[in-house]
């Protein structure tokens, strides 16, 4: 899913580094060694005239024609060296790419002896390799001699022993089972990084991600876990104890976020976490059936859903699924008072035309103009490694389209600088929340209202 990576192209400590130093030894050891999703070129590029050139010139991206010649382009680099010592050093004039997954050694905080032993660490991610553990699942119903999965609109009708199209749900006898009571990731993130901008700014999230996705997006920066069972066959996840996670989150006054892969596939874990008192956030593709939305809405505090297009055919080409059920889920969750934020990656040729963006903005505004809309810069990676990144100009134009449609809050995380991240009062336009790239700089809200004109700003502020 959309929340992408960390890593400062200038080599300075980033948000993750700052968070890491506050962790205990055990937590550091468990830290997601794998999930440093490099998005280095996405740093402040407000004044970049040619963002592609800036992207290509960034030394943090590995060189596809260097030491790693012959590998697939998106598998090029597995280490991050200090600036100036990149293993796949950039050659001027040559395109550079970097694998979005980097091992624990990239962190400045090294794992210390905590007594925690790893079981055959995966070579590129440092997480445990193991077999999937299957447990009873919700949202299955008999259909003749078959068992019908009603979690997502794919509607797999399974014979005994058959695995669904998502590869993480299956039939066993008369029971549906899931492999998603597990996680490939366990780390602390700021809530802004999911992204949620109207959910307790500055709060932390205990972030988990089970392998699997109902989409097959060809630009997925997290494809190593999301495309389990398709492009990647290694199960790299460990079982999750929902009560322990909920206690941990409560101790930190943190949310629990399911992100990076598709959280709706972890429906059972979501229900367990909520039953244990955790406040659960999803970064989701929204590809749910109405039954699933009904069942899961009460367990969800907030959901950020991607709208990746408006045309079913083009959306299907990009993701392997139509967009209509996504729009239905957004309406359903909003009707059930789940706090929603929407993200749209500006993907060249798929979802970047003014008409597409206006259609999305008008759809959101028709539901509620106070729903925040996050415009995401497209990252050339995976099967779209050859495409151009979104230009800052295109992001600025898209932001204007959102405002013209009547949306109160349209955000651009990095390419437009602080102005793109700040929350403004929709009435008097006073900036009321100031953000860094992945954190809170200053919150001037007074009990959820503008300190200047007392307009209520919608969101979850406590
Ligand atoms: S969640 Fe998986 S098993 Fe269920 S319908 Fe969707 S793809 Fe099929």
Over residues 365-391, the pLDDT tens digits come to 999 999 999 999 988 888 888 888 899
Residue 110 and residue 124: Cα distance in Å, rounded? 16
Written out in words, the top-level CATH class of the domain with range 182-443 is alpha beta
Q: In residues, how long is the chain? A: 462
Token representation of residue 399 = 């932001």
Ligand 1, atom 4: nearest CA belongs to which residue?
Answer: 149
Token representation of residue 64 = 């596809």
Instruction: Convert the pLDDT of each residue in 336-350 to its tens digit.
Output: 999 999 999 998 877
User: For the residues 55-80, what does the mean pLDDT come to?
Assistant: 29
Q: Are strands 175-178 and 135-136 parallel, antiparallel or unpaired?
A: antiparallel
User: For the residues 190-217, what does the mean pLDDT come to?
Assistant: 95
- Residue ranges covered by each domain of the chain: 135-178, 182-443
Number of Cβ atoms within 10 Å of the Cβ of 258: 31
For 283-295, give one letter per residue: b (16+ CB within 10 A) or e. bbbbbbbeebbeb
DSSP string, 129-177: ------EE-SSEEEETTEEEE-SSTT--EE-TT-B-TTSSEEEETTEEE
pLDDT band at 129 (very low <50, low <70, confident <90, very high): low
More reliable by pLDDT, 230 or 110: 230
pTM, two decimals, is: 0.75
Residue 98 has pLDDT above 70, yes or no: no
Dihedral sign (CA 366, 396, 441, 378): positive
Residue 302 and residue 314: Cα distance in Å, rounded? 28
Three-state secondary structure call for residue 59: coil
- In a 13 Å sphere around the CA of 128, the CA atoms on its Cβ side amount to 17
User: Which of 147, 148, 169, 215, when mutated, tests ligand 1's pocket best, judged by the most ligand atoms within 8 Å of its CB?
Assistant: 169
User: Is the beta carbon of 267 within 6 A of some atom in ligand 1?
Assistant: no
* CB-based contact 232:193 (threshold 8 Å): no
Ligand 1, atom 3: nearest CA belongs to which residue?
Answer: 164
């Amino acid at each position: 899913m959309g929340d992408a990576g960390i890593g400062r192209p200038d080599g300075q400590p980033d948000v993750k580094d700052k968070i890491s130093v506050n962790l205990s030894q055990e937590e550091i050891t468990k830290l997601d060694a794998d999930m440093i999703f490099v998005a280095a070129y996405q740093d402040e590029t407000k004044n970049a005239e040619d963002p592609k050139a800036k992207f290509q010139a960034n030394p943090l991206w590995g060189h596809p024609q260097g030491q790693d010649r012959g590998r697939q382009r998106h598998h090029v680099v597995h280490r991050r060296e200090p600036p100036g010592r990149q293993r796949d050093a950039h050659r001027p004039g040559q395109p550079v790419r970097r694998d979005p997954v980097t091992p624990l050694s990239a962190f400045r905080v090294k794992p210390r002896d905590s007594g925690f032993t790893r079981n055959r660490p995966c070579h590129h991610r440092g997480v445990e390799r193991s077999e999937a553990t299957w447990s009873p699942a919700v949202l299955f119903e008999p259909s003749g001699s078959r068992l019908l999965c009603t979690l997502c609109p794919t509607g797999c009708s399974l014979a005994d022993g058959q695995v669904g199209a998502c590869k993480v749900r299956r039939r066993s006898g008369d029971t549906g089972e899931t492999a998603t009571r597990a996680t490939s990731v366990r780390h602390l993130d700021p809530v802004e990084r999911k992204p949620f901008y109207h959910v307790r700014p500055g709060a932390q999230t205990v972030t988990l991600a089970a392998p699997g996705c109902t989409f097959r997006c060809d630009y997925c920066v997290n494809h190593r876990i999301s495309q389990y069972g398709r492009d990647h066959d290694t199960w790299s996840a460990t079982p999750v104890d929902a009560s322990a996670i909920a206690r941990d989150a409560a101790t930190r006054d943190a949310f629990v976020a399911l992100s990076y892969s598709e959280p709706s596939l972890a429906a059972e874990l979501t229900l367990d976490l909520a039953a244990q008192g955790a406040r659960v956030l999803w970064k989701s593709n929204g590809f749910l059936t109405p039954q699933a939305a009904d069942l899961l809405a009460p367990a969800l505090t907030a959901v950020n859903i991607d709208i990746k297009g408006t045309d079913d055919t083009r959306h299907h080409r990009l993701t392997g699924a139509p967009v209509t059920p996504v729009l239905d889920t957004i309406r359903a969750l909003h009707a059930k008072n789940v706090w929603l934020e929407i993200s749209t990656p500006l993907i060249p040729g798929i979802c970047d035309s003014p008409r597409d963006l206006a259609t999305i903005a008008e759809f959101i505004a028709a539901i509620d103009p106070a729903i925040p809309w996050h415009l995401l810069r497209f990252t050339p990676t995976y099967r779209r490694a050859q495409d151009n990144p979104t230009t800052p100009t295109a992001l600025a134009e898209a932001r204007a389209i959102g405002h013209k449609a009547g949306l109160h809050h349209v955000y651009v995380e990095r390419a437009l600088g602080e102005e793109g991240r700040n929350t403004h009062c929709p009435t008097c336009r006073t900036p009321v929340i100031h953000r860094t790239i992945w954190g809170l700089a200053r919150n001037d809200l007074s009990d959820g209202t503008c300190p200047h004109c007392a307009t209520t700003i919608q969101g979850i502020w406590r």
